[in-house]
Amino acid sequence: MIGKDVALAASLLQEGKLVAIPTETVYGLGANALDTHAISSIYSVKNRPTFNPLILHFSSWEAAQPYVQDVPKEIAELAAIFCPGSLSFLLPKTDLVPDIVTAGSDKVVVRVPNHPLTLDLLSHLDFPLAAPSANVSNTVSPTTAEHVELSIGPNISYILDGGNSNVGLESTIMECVNGEIIILREGGVSKEELAANTELAVKSYSGNTISTPGQLGKHYATRKPLVIVKDLKTYLASGKVDCTVLAFDESVEGENCIYLSRSYDLNEIASNLFAAMRLADTHTTSHIAVAQIKEEGIGRAIADRLRRASTK
């Protein structure tokens, strides 16, 4: 059931049910983070591997404090700037956070989403929400209530409809290690934005350990193959035309061309990416083709999603 009833959503969550919630990034599959049975239901409905941890969502940065500890002052300063928003923080957890949420880790990811309906919902709850993306694991993330309905709608109690997710990509996840900011997942807040708001060095994670969501090699997968090419015009001229093209501007034309932007606007491309990938899957073509994207600003997060979607 899809609707805008915050009170109903709150009541269902208090009963241990699953409710899809809108955020500015993507729709999340919310459950009482302190209810281990409800958290188990998230993993079951999503078919999510239990070694893949979840993010806790709060109504404010202050509300998150009982659940984390040893918060560096630099993290608190960034939280004051980016909360609510598309930045998540990996921090040591307190005993209030069940191990099932963190996949046994002693750290937990927390964030404050920037969506009025979900902030209203969280303010009516006396517990945080654990909320991964509201879809079957390793498929394209949902950015509308209808996307959620098509993926897992029959298996959850309610979908709180907050319209389109305007950022369109998951949050950036970061932590502070040895006096440096480490980006664990590229997302809605860019490396440049972080660097402009902290005196610490900002680096990208280069390890292989899965410590946060979004680090699986194969992720965000379309049903048909997605290929990344250096130059779309050359690729199409080679005769490999049985494809749907995801275009960044008007330099590429064709019957099966979906424009993520007509002017190479990276924010617009990010906002439209997942919806376009879903639409491309409905075309009667053999595969999806997309050009390499400029890896600057939010372009890094876009490139990350496309690489993981294209992994065989």
pLDDT of residue 28: 98
* Nearest residue to 129 (alpha-carbon basis) of 7, 34, 23, 24: 34
Which pLDDT belongs to residue 218?
61
According to the model, what pLDDT value does residue 254 have?
A: 77
- pLDDT of 61 reads 98
User: Can you tell me the distance from the alpha carbon of 287 to that of 161, in angstroms, rounded to the nearest whole number?
Assistant: 31
pLDDT tens for each residue of 82-93: 999 999 999 999
Cα-only R_g, the chain: 19
DSSP structural state of residue 104: T
Q: Which of 34, 27, 20, 53 is nearest to 216 (CA)?
A: 53
Task: Identify the CA nearest to 272 among candidates 165, 187, 192.
Answer: 165
Whole-structure pTM value: 0.92
Q: What is the pLDDT of residues 122-180, one digit of tens each?
A: 999 999 999 999 999 989 999 999 999 999 999 999 999 999 999 999 999 999 999 99
Q: How far apart are CA 64 and CA 75, in angstroms?
A: 13
| DSSP state, residue 106 | S
> Can you give the length of the chain in residues?
312
The DSSP output letter for 68 is B
Which pLDDT score, from 0 to 100, does residue 213 have?
67
Distance from C-alpha of 135 to C-alpha of 151, rounded to nearest angstrom: 5
Query: Contact 54/160 with Cβ under 8 angstroms?
Result: no
In Å, what is the CA distance from 186 to each residue of 71, 111, 172, 278, 305?
Answer: 21, 15, 5, 21, 9
For residue 255, what pLDDT is reported? Answer: 80
* Confidence (pLDDT) at 63: 98
Using the Cα atoms of residue 33, residue 35, residue 36 and residue 39 in order, give the sign of their dihedral: negative
Write out residues in the chain with pLDDT < 70, as ranges: 208-219, 240
- Find out whether 78 and 90 touch, Cβ atoms under 8 Å: no
- Integer Cα distance of 46 and 205 in angstroms: 26
Identity of the residue numbered 50: T
Bridging pattern class, strands 19-21 and 172-177: unpaired
Q: Which domains does the chain have, with CATH numbers?
A: 2-204 (3.90.870.10), 226-310 (3.40.50.11030)
Strand 257-259 and strand 87-92: the pairing is unpaired
